[in-house]
Structure 1
Amino acid sequence: MSSSSKTASPWPRPSRMKILMAASEAVPFAKTGGLADVVSALALALAKQGHEIRIIIPRYYSVDRTRLTALEGALGVPMGGGEEWCEVLTATLPGSPKNNPIEVYFIDHEKYFGRDGIYGIPSEPDFLDNPRRFTFFSRAVFQVCRKTGWFPDVVHAHDWPAALVPVFLKYAERKGGFEKTVSVLTIHNLGYQGIYHKDNYNHTGMGWEIFYNAGFDDWNMMNLLKAGLCSADTINTVSPHYAEETKTQHYGFRLDGILRYRAEDYRGILNGIDTDLWNPRTDKLIPQTYSEKDMAGKLKAKEALQKAYDLPPDPKVPIIGLISRLTGQKGVGELFGPSFGSAYSFCRDMNLQFAILGTGEAWCENELRSLSSRLSNLKAKIGYDESMSHLVEAGSDFFLMPSRYEPSGLNQMYSLNYGTIPIVRNTGGLTDTIENFNQETGAGTGFMFDDPTPNAIYNTVGWAVWAWYNRRPQIEAMRIRGMSQDFSWAKSAKQYIEMYEWTRKKQGITK
């Protein structure tokens, strides 16, 4: 082998591609979680690197029709019961490059999407017709391309609501303009798979032999994500470590066997963060901007955070921040569980303050209200407020993420960027972004623990608080080290481009 062949990149040289993002949500139009942020941020990063990007999502009631433009004529979508019709609306994604704007298409079907919730509402958390709704949406993706005469090189589907897109491409849509289109499916959270009664398969309009060939079958149910994983040309998830975890029985949610089987086509690409929005050097939502060269603004943010949370104003006491969905995945049972959670104990035993922002399971919200009334150094705000989340990130000294599993995580990257030291469980994207503190050398960017237990959380918080009072120069050095790292989407977007090109080459498509 020649020396040049040894050093040559395994990836083809990128060229301008047409990429269609198919997803159930995208900011600023519709959002329930991080998926919406990732779809739009990745699209913007790819467009800034010169690629032609379009996004397609449903039009829910939360999306204001008056701000959209309708395409001329109705859109027919083939379904199992016959053709169904909808309207297609468009808008430009805010923040798009002026010389390369991103067009967003909205599938407007009153029966399926004319409602307030995206996946459900409090009285019906998972709409009974979700399999039909997202079957219609996935098939409409192809019809929109035909209607506009725009055929993508890559159709990139996100999570279970769009997982039928690669299935339709493989089994029903290869002809008629999509002969050179490849599919990518991104897993944002393997815990959500879209499992429904198999009678819903009739909505796809495909034969029952495909039900088994495409991988829908799941213990006599229909699993949308499983079919997508079996059918997509390439699969990825949102961090390298989570990609490895999901190939194990413990984290695989019964799909680990498929992911091991498809290991050559499966990779992890770490999510980026929006460094225009989450940047202490330019952030307009905090009292005073700051940087690693001048940290005075962080002290101002701490003072404002203590005031906002009615905590005793004391710059010498460390504040631990937490912003989270209050669900089991996020470790709230181990942290706030009545009679066994660690939060009460470490707030009682240690000289610290704890500021919490979140919403979720009713028992946890009630427990936080109880803890806030009993502890002077623990205060919680139930709900979500964008301005307050920026203040928590900027004003805290530490940020706690005790997740049972964490596909990527964004808050630990926000925290590092704001000079707020993460205290995290050693899992998923947290493993990929945090280096554990070494108290002998001072190296590291955060404090990590392995076991998802109240005792492990207590001990690691105690370790961080000990370092605050006894190794302050090392703490300050960790802050600067974290703020110097690059978690921008530009870095992650390059890896997506390489994956798209690799997929096209694998499928024999060179131009």
Structure 2
Amino acid sequence: MKKILMVTSEAVPFAKTGGLADVVSALSTELKKLGHDVRVLMPRYYHIDRTVLKKHDEALGIWLGRGEEWTAVYEGVLPESEVPVYFLDHERFFGRDGIYGHRADEGFKDNAARYSLLSRGAFQLCRMLHWTPDVVHCHDWPSAPACYLLKREEQDKGFKNTKGILTIHNIGYQGEFSLDDAVYLQPEIDMLNLSTLEFSGALNFLKAGIITADKITTVSPTYAEEIKRYDFGFGMDGLLNYRHEDLQGILNGIDYKDWNPETDKFIEPDNFSVNKISGKSAVKKKLQKEMGLPVNQKIPLVGIVTRLVDQKGIVELFRPGFGTMYSICKDMNVQFVILGSGESWCEEELNHLSAELPNLSVYIGYNNRLAHMIEAGADFFLMPSRYEPCGLNQIYSLSYGTLPIVRNTGGLADTVENYDQEKGTGTGFVFDDLRPDVIYNVMKWVVETWEERREDIRKMRKRAMKKRFSWEDSAREYLKLYGE
């Protein structure tokens, strides 16, 4: 039995800004099911109700910079599991709205101190619990310093046999701060420590973790290869090439309890399965009607559920004026349903397109019920990502027989097999270049396949629905890594 401490800035259902939160909770739950002692540590943000949590009698004194910070410790549990979750309750650092900042594009000025407290608190918590983990598993930049502290300080203080694992969910976010903030991790900086903590004249949390972690993982095998390249590495490619023997891509799983057409509560009573798929047409009809599109089973319906940010290929797809999406909708017999929020220019352009085009409907924001309806009712799902560490929506789509149309990158490349008309294989449509003309042509290919080779579509749909990407498989891969 392994003792594993997950150190994270977010975990569902307590705090979430992206897929990291889902991964931490799902992986922890699965490792617990496999018989391991898994515990989670995260901040207690302002919105997390502490009245439903148990408060520990002992507070933690955490050395931070040039003084000690005291934090209360609360304990809860991951839903439908026995995984304990410990919360650091520090009013000045975490008692405010927002996780990383008030806005997505601007972090709090004291984030270096906030998340240094989290990393230092991991070891203080273990001492309080009289529990020494075999593995401290850190996730992205907010907890990457725990790997640094493990190597620089804690291995001489009772954690000699503890391994540090760093999972990079998105290398585009690195935790960059003023070098003055290095005092939170290293009160007295010498050249060795500075070379570990500094990148391009700034303190870099992720770099510190990459250098000092025993093993480094990413959330798909292809992404593990991509981040070693200049065009994907965001400056870390040299380091990752140096540490290539310790770098491994482990594909995320999904929770089939939530994303299963046979049991999905959001599409009742039209649930369907690979052997009884008629309910999918009923959901499509309801989706078309709800979104104000002409109700027509013969027209292919393409879904998009996304954050409207550059990573997702929005510039190439939704460029203002007569761009790619406008041309596709004008030239092809196809419908689009789009759910998302993000950059204001893109939201405005989508509202404009929706008013201009009768075959395109938009919902700005996020709606979980509608997300399930789109996954279940659409015929295809478009993800033209610039880069995609793993991606979840293409896996949800496969489960519902909604054929993914994806760029050949990251986890999209690892989960979707390109349609081959000659061999009669594939589970979706894959393209290489993120150019407007390429996106246009792949959509033309999709529509032609729908109109001329419907039997191929039916066979692809069955193959897609039989694919499985389980958390148990992922958890077993992590266990192998923990044991190395």
Cα deviation, residue 149, structure 1:
1.1
Cα displacement string for residues 256-285 of structure 1 (whole angstroms, at most 9, x for unaligned residues): 000000000001001110111111111111
Tell me if 1:184 matches 2:169.
no
Tell me if 1:449 matches 2:431.
yes
The within-5 A match list for 1:445-484 is 445-484=427-466
Which position in structure 2 is the counterpart of 1:45? 30
SS in 2 for 1:31: coil
Which position in structure 2 is the counterpart of 1:26? 11
Cα deviation, residue 424, structure 1:
0.4
Does the aligned pair in 2 maintain the 1:211–1:217 contact within 8 Å?
Answer: no
Provide closer, same or farther for how the CA distance between residues 478 and 179 of structure 1 changes in structure 2, counting only shifts above 3 A.
Answer: same
The equivalent position to 1:133 in structure 2, one of 106, 109, 114, is 114
The equivalent position to 2:215 in structure 1, one of 234, 239, 264, is 234
- The residue type equivalent to 2:14 in the other structure is F
The equivalent position to 2:233 in structure 1, one of 230, 247, 252, is 252
Tell me if 1:83 matches 2:65.
no
Aligned partners of 2:426, 2:195: CA distance in 1, in Å? 45
The equivalent position to 2:143 in structure 1, one of 135, 148, 162, is 162
Cα displacement string for residues 68-117 of structure 1 (whole angstroms, at most 9, x for unaligned residues): 11111221001111111010101011011xxxx10000111011111110
Aligned partners of 1:459, 1:45: CA distance in 2, in Å? 41
Instruction: Report the RMSD for the aligned CA atoms in angstroms.
Output: 1.2
Aligned partners of 1:215, 1:304: CA distance in 2, in Å? 55
Does the aligned pair in 1 maintain the 2:64–2:113 contact within 8 Å?
Answer: no
Does the aligned pair in 2 maintain the 1:214–1:230 contact within 8 Å?
Answer: no
SS in 2 for 1:126: coil
Does the aligned pair in 2 maintain the 1:329–1:403 contact within 8 Å?
Answer: yes
Which position in structure 2 is the counterpart of 1:105? 86
Aligned partners of 1:185, 1:153: CA distance in 2, in Å? 14
Cα deviation, residue 210, structure 1:
6.5
The within-5 A match list for 1:5-404 is 16-96=1-81, 101-122=82-103, 125-209=106-190, 212=193, 215-287=196-268, 288-339=270-321, 341-404=323-386
- The residue type equivalent to 1:226 in the other structure is K
Cα displacement string for residues 293-322 of structure 1 (whole angstroms, at most 9, x for unaligned residues): 000111111111112211111111110000
Aligned partners of 1:214, 1:239: CA distance in 2, in Å? 29
- The residue type equivalent to 2:161 in the other structure is K
SS in 2 for 1:452: coil
Provide closer, same or farther for how the CA distance between residues 145 and 214 of structure 1 changes in structure 2, counting only shifts above 3 A.
Answer: farther
Aligned partners of 1:325, 1:380: CA distance in 2, in Å? 13
Aligned partners of 1:368, 1:414: CA distance in 2, in Å? 24
- The residue type equivalent to 1:384 in the other structure is Y
Cα deviation, residue 410, structure 1:
0.5
Aligned partners of 2:416, 2:104: CA distance in 1, in Å? 39
Deviates more, 1:145-154 or 1:170-179: 170-179
Provide closer, same or farther for how the CA distance between residues 276 and 369 of structure 1 changes in structure 2, counting only shifts above 3 A.
Answer: same
Identity in percent: 53
- The residue type equivalent to 1:37 in the other structure is D
Tell me if 1:424 matches 2:406.
yes
Aligned partners of 1:124, 1:83: CA distance in 2, in Å? 31
Does the aligned pair in 1 maintain the 2:42–2:88 contact within 8 Å?
Answer: yes
Does the aligned pair in 1 maintain the 2:8–2:143 contact within 8 Å?
Answer: yes
List gaps (5 residues or longer) in structure 1. 1-15, 503-511
Cα displacement string for residues 142-184 of structure 1 (whole angstroms, at most 9, x for unaligned residues): 1111111111110100000001010000001113331211010
Does the aligned pair in 2 maintain the 1:79–1:205 contact within 8 Å?
Answer: no
- The residue type equivalent to 1:21 in the other structure is M
Cα deviation, residue 340, structure 1:
5.7
Does the aligned pair in 1 maintain the 2:66–2:187 contact within 8 Å?
Answer: no
List gaps (5 residues or longer) in structure 2. none
Aligned partners of 1:105, 1:210: CA distance in 2, in Å? 35
SS in 2 for 1:358: strand
Provide closer, same or farther for how the CA distance between residues 461 and 386 of structure 1 changes in structure 2, counting only shifts above 3 A.
Answer: same
Deviates more, 1:348-357 or 1:207-216: 207-216
SS in 1 for 2:73: strand
Does the aligned pair in 1 maintain the 2:216–2:248 contact within 8 Å?
Answer: yes
Tell me if 1:412 matches 2:394.
yes
Deviates more, 1:298-307 or 1:183-192: 298-307
SS in 2 for 1:422: strand
- The residue type equivalent to 1:71 in the other structure is H
- The residue type equivalent to 2:366 in the other structure is Y
